[in-house]
Amino acid sequence: MISMVVVFLKERITMDDIKSRSLKLHEDNKGKISVISKVRVETKDDLALAYSPGVAEPCRMIQKNQSDIYKYTSKGNLVAVISDGSAVLGLGDIGPYAGLPVMEGKCILFKEFAGVDAFPIMLDTKDPEEIIDIVKKISISFGGINLEDITAPKCVTIERRLKKELDIPVFHDDQHGTAIVTLAALINSCRLTGRDIKKLKVVLSGTGAAGSSIARMLHNYGIITIYAYNRSGVVNQKLYNKYEFLLKELLDEDVILSNNATSLEELLVGTDVFIGVSAPGLVTKEMVQSMNKDPFIFAMANPDPEIMPEIAIEAGALIVGTGRSDYPNQINNVLAFPGLFRGALDARAKSITEEMKLEAAKAIASIIKDDELHKDYIIPSPFDKRVVEVVSQAVRHQASKEKKA
């Protein structure tokens, strides 16, 4: 595995090459998804069974018992990937038309990695109430809802409402997928170094949707000392009234601790972990050197991280992860959401709970055995076939426990 990473880094593909080849791929294929029939319609008999008059019979059965919709339709393996295009990757608010290629891409990841059928739905509205209403009205056709690339904190409000008002899993991947994989990477970093994860001092840069979810997941796992930095500066109780409701909640619940440091540079002194979901170039070599010995640096701003991996390593970082595929330790939510939905759909879970997410993180971490762990291999590859299997099994098991409870 490590040698493969090294070879890949030596043959790093240029961004210009990726851009031109990606445009050609999309143009040649007219997008990335299509609808493929599960049954043949080649004879009159085929037509009579698949459509009229035969189709009336499953309709009657579902009318008698609504849960039979899972028995006679594709609902149980179909996820809606829904976005308003307001926070697409690093592109920002590019709107629903321009956001469609990303949502198509998400759909093929569901299918290719977990065998889950998915369909992209772009909404020409940014009003939270309208989005909630639309999703509720179309939810009958789907076994799960994946919210994608919606601005914070609106995305949190939408997800929370839909989770309360729907009886199928609703998941905002930009928040929770990143958090799950971040925790998995941190678990393995501590396993490799023998450190007690609960005693780590963590600095989190970025307190939006992803950052708030990371903080909550680390706290739920037992990490007590989490400080944060955002566009307003170091998070401090004195600035409470200026913060969005998400950050207020985290302060109220002591998930994020108030700190009197006046800069990110000052905040990082004597800490063990930096986790960035913010902006490029925020962290310098000198800042890393001011941290405790052999710190962990997870700089996940895309495409340009808070600090480039080679600079962080030169400054003394022991383990470095990014959101990029051209460096080792890619902390990518594709490790989480396919298996998470696979497990939730198979279990007919009505929601994806905090406990399921924690179990998913532990499952991802468990894939790499002790004798395989290395500072450049703390997180498995998305192409490791074991990932979806292990994550889905963990989610199914947890769902079963929750049903019995």
Catalytic choice (10, 32, 38, 106): 106
DSSP string, 344-396: HHHTT-SS--HHHHHHHHHHHHHTS-TTT-BTTBSS--TT-THHHHHHHHHHH
Q: How many CA atoms lie within 13 A of 355 on its CB side?
A: 10
Distances (CA, A) of 392 to 15, 138, 342, 358, 371: 34, 26, 6, 13, 24
Catalytic choice (19, 24, 51, 199): 51
Show the CA angle centred on residue 373, arms to residues 173 and 10, nearest 5°.
80
Residue 111 annotated in active site: no
> 154-165 and 173-193 are packed helices; what angle lies between their axes, rounded to 10 degrees?
100
Residue 106 annotated in active site: yes
Q: What is the dihedral of CA 165, 166, 171, 172, to 10 degrees?
A: -40
- Determine the longest span between alpha carbons in the chain, in angstroms: 76
The alpha-helical segments, DSSP class H, found in 169-270 are 173-193, 209-221, 245-252, 264-268
Tokens of 256: 């994020």
The residues annotated as belonging to the active site are 51, 106
